[in-house]
Structure 1
Amino acid sequence: MIYCGIDWAERTHDVALVDHCGQLLAKRHITDDAAGYKILMDLLAEYGDTEENPIPVAIETSRGLLLAVLRTGKWQVFAINPMAAARYRDRYSVSRKKSDPGDALVLANILRTDMHAHRPLPQDSDLARAVAVLARAQQDATWNRQQISNQLRSLLREYYPSALAAFESWRNGLCRPEAHELLKAAPTPTRAARLTRTQLQAALKRAGRQRGIAAESDRLQEVFRADWAHQPLLVEEALGKQRLAILVQLQAACTAADDLAKAVEEAFPEYPDAEIILSFPGLGVQIGARVLAEIGDDRTRFADARGLKAYAGASPITRASGKKSNITRRWVKNDRLNHAGYLWAFSAITASPGAKAHYRKRRDDHGDWHAAAQRNLFNRMLGQLYHCLRHNHTYDETVAFPDGSVAARAAVA
């Protein structure tokens, strides 16, 4: 057996090949371009790489053009966590010396000794990977929008509390177009107090509002002209300019999140198993796409539902030593899937009578806190999703929560 290790870098990569005894057979320094990829392919072919017997490859990243090239063939690619690679490095050098060729050799030896302990990259379809790109980008854009919104809220608390009071009754207040138009028309509370009803109505119309404009403008004028504390005029003007800069970032983040959400809505329904995923209560297009992005469609990726639950951080973990034993939640997990699961379980509580009964049972009978009960619900529904995807079944409430469905029907009766 021949094993390949690649120390990935931004512009160049170091490649090392070892045999089953750990003997270094070859090493190369290749560039991150088509010419470098061809050198890598020729090197692997020179040492017996074929489609029937491909050489396994270890690398410290799971994305990029080099990975795309390796995915086109039959290679088993193992994405080794950099922290795990650093621990393996101590086996070969107690002096803690480090070099890129040495790291490539360490990665190759990881496969030689412990390939069974590492999971190869899943062989997901191109459509599933495309949905994953869009879903993760939309998730990042949503987080970025919330972060900038929090920055704007914190700044408004320093000098412009009337704006927070005016937008408080609106859903997603600071992210709404009406809030953006009003903040552009009045960067400071002093200017906001001078806005007339006509100016307020014009700002609301520019934002796209069509109903209740007159009543809303009267409410806004009353809020802006109420008695509020003020910063000194020069400080207020300076804060207004800072707020305009943050507002530009927030508008761009809102646009990006909305555009990516539309892209997900167009791409996800084309996926063959979208009907199965969307049949689960609490899973809409956006959350369903995020779940698909993290679990993929390679049915051999997880040996059983327990592996998927551990990967998502839904199942508990036991730490035992001697007579001491502690059961707690997992800290090492797929954070994106775990976050999607939190939203999924939260929505399922109101969308499924069985899920709600299961949640109440965890709270009342087992004494779980809200987050722990939701995590347990996510753990159970993730196992159900695994079963449905493996057997090509849609969600069935009576099968998923037989006890909860009976209790729900009895409560209604």
Structure 2
Amino acid sequence: MGVSGSLPAVFVGLDVGKSDHHAVALGVDGKALLDRALPNDEARLRAILAGLAEHGPVLMVVDQPATIGALPVAVAQAMEGVEVAYLPGLAMRRIADLHPGAAKTNARDALIIAEAARTMPHTLRQIRADEEQIAALALLAGFDDDLAQEATAVSNRLRGLLTQIHPALERALGPRVAHPAVADLLTRYPTPARLASAGRGQVRARLKKHAPRLADRLAQEVFTALGEQTVTVPGTDAAGVVIPILAEQLAALTRQRGQIAAQVEALVEAHPLHGVLTSLPGVGVRTAARILTEVVGKDFKDAAHLASYAGIAPVTRRSGTSIRGEHAPRGGNKRLKRALFLSAFASLSHPPSRAYYDRKRAQGKRHNQALIALARRRCDVLFAMLRDGTLYQPPTTAAA
């Protein structure tokens, strides 16, 4: 890995931080040229790198190319005579075990990164200069994940309160509590008594604002549920104060996720691999965004390498002749693993995927095990599609 075809003369290891970084620069002979803390400031970073470039081509390696490491990467990419790469966290930890001492300091980490760049260039990963689109996707997808977690927490709290004061009403509204019509209804009529006093007509009219087709059936279910309980549970009045607040929060989170989804969809559609990814059954906009941010730009030797990275490749456990078997790995990229797992679940309406899932269930695998097996099978297909840039092609009868 060199700059403009030249081998690096200076290897800079940068342990990034929120306010300050620590840089260690080594020459080809391993002699230290720099060992100091650096502020997270463009002018100072440029000055340091320009000074090191006087010794020859510079290779700067970071341990986090995104988030807090974004500025140093951008500065290095904008300078002549400087190339930038990153050292994955797992490789960093394994290489650290080879160095003496167990201290965890910024200076030691920066030295380890620099030594890895100098002596083990095969452990490094390239950082492309055209990653603005991927960086934007990563930021938006991460924020969408945060919103989803908040929405789940609020939804669970809201359903818990409904179960506490009126279980039958929760059974009617709980599964649809994130629907805008239900959130709006609970904001206006948060207790069973207020729903009953509003009457079936007003409730149906309120529901029709956001769910015209669902209004009649849902209004019927609500008043059927109200008729199943005549007592008022202690704490119902207090719940009537909290429920509308939670309903408003849930509605706001749902709207925000919709806005983020529109931005993500625009970025995904603009990416050259959009058609390739979405041609695979079960891959929607959010899954395609996660695949782009977690897979594209990384070097995978084969499909097994990708599956291992995603944490969906079974791990063999063997100790002599007494313990044998395979189990699901606990490591891997959890964001990508979740995306591939949910994508496999969404693909069950696709006949070939369903047939493979049913075959695994017939072999005695549980639901989640069969889905993991399906995700691993689909990983082979995904790797080939990304490698060749081809759209998904349904398997022939013989191949299936």
Q: TM-score range by the shorter chain?
A: 0.7 to 0.9
Q: In the alignment, what sits opposite 2:337?
A: 338
Query: Are residues 72 and 253 of structure 1, via their aligned partners in 2, closer, same or farther at CA, if it must alter by over 3 Å?
Result: farther
Q: Displacement, 1:391?
A: 1.9
Residue of 1, 9, 12 corresponding to 2:17: 9
Query: Are residues 223 and 325 of structure 1, via their aligned partners in 2, closer, same or farther at CA, if it must alter by over 3 Å?
Result: closer
Q: Deviations over 1:86-137 (max 9, x none)?
A: 982783435x3x4433432233234344443454456664334434443443
Structure 2: runs of 5 or more not aligned: 1-8
Query: Are residues 46 and 267 of structure 1, via their aligned partners in 2, closer, same or farther at CA, if it must alter by over 3 Å?
Result: same
Q: In the alignment, what sits opposite 2:47?
A: 39
Query: Are residues 40 and 303 of structure 1, via their aligned partners in 2, closer, same or farther at CA, if it must alter by over 3 Å?
Result: farther
Aligned residue identity for 1:290: R
Query: Are residues 193 and 120 of structure 1, via their aligned partners in 2, closer, same or farther at CA, if it must alter by over 3 Å?
Result: same
Q: Displacement, 1:320?
A: 4.0
Aligned residue identity for 1:200: V
Query: Are residues 39 and 358 of structure 1, via their aligned partners in 2, closer, same or farther at CA, if it must alter by over 3 Å?
Result: same
Q: How does 1:253-272 map to 2 (within 5 A)?
A: 253-272=253-272
Instruction: Supply the distance in 2 between the matched residues of 1:213 and 1:55 (Cα, whole angstroms).
Output: 63
8 Å contact 2:42–2:71 — kept in the other structure? Answer: no
Instruction: Supply the distance in 2 between the matched residues of 1:167 and 1:134 (Cα, whole angstroms).
Output: 30
Q: Deviations over 1:306-343 (max 9, x none)?
A: 21111112222234444454422221111111111112
What TM-score comes out, normalization by structure 2 length? 0.84
Structure 1: runs of 5 or more not aligned: 405-413
> Is 2:48 aligned against 1:48?
no
Q: In the alignment, what sits opposite 1:396?
A: 393
8 Å contact 2:308–2:332 — kept in the other structure? Answer: yes
Q: In the alignment, what sits opposite 1:146?
A: 152
Please give the root-mean-square deviation of Cα atoms over the aligned residues, in Å.
3.0
Q: Displacement, 1:175?
A: 0.4
Q: Displacement, 1:212?
A: 6.2
Instruction: Supply the distance in 2 between the matched residues of 1:221 and 1:309 (Cα, whole angstroms).
Output: 50
Q: Displacement, 1:26?
A: 0.9
Q: In the alignment, what sits opposite 1:65?
A: 71
Q: In the alignment, what sits opposite 1:161?
A: 167
Q: In the alignment, what sits opposite 1:306?
A: 304
8 Å contact 1:77–1:120 — kept in the other structure? Answer: yes
Instruction: Supply the distance in 2 between the matched residues of 1:82 and 1:100 (Cα, whole angstroms).
Output: 17
What TM-score comes out, normalization by structure 1 length? 0.82
Instruction: Supply the distance in 1 between the matched residues of 2:221 and 2:96 (Cα, whole angstroms).
Output: 65
Structure 1 runs of 4+ with >6 Å offset = none
Aligned residue identity for 1:208: H
Q: Displacement, 1:164?
A: 0.9
Q: How does 1:232-381 map to 2 (within 5 A)?
A: 232=234, 235-296=235-296, 298=297, 301-323=299-321, 324-351=323-350, 353-364=351-362, 366-381=363-378
8 Å contact 1:162–1:189 — kept in the other structure? Answer: no
8 Å contact 2:95–2:116 — kept in the other structure? Answer: no
Query: Are residues 46 and 398 of structure 1, via their aligned partners in 2, closer, same or farther at CA, if it must alter by over 3 Å?
Result: same
Aligned residue identity for 2:306: L
Q: Deviations over 1:158-216 (max 9, x none)?
A: 22434313315xxx5110112112211223333333222343134224x4233464564
Q: Secondary structure at the match of 1:344?
A: helix
Query: Are residues 148 and 65 of structure 1, via their aligned partners in 2, closer, same or farther at CA, if it must alter by over 3 Å?
Result: farther
Between the aligned residues of both structures, percent identity stands at 27
Q: In the alignment, what sits opposite 1:408?
A: none
Instruction: Supply the distance in 1 between the matched residues of 2:198 and 2:190 (Cα, whole angstroms).
Output: 11
Query: Are residues 99 and 214 of structure 1, via their aligned partners in 2, closer, same or farther at CA, if it must alter by over 3 Å?
Result: closer
Alignment size in residue pairs: 387
> Is 2:85 aligned against 1:77?
yes
8 Å contact 1:79–1:120 — kept in the other structure? Answer: no
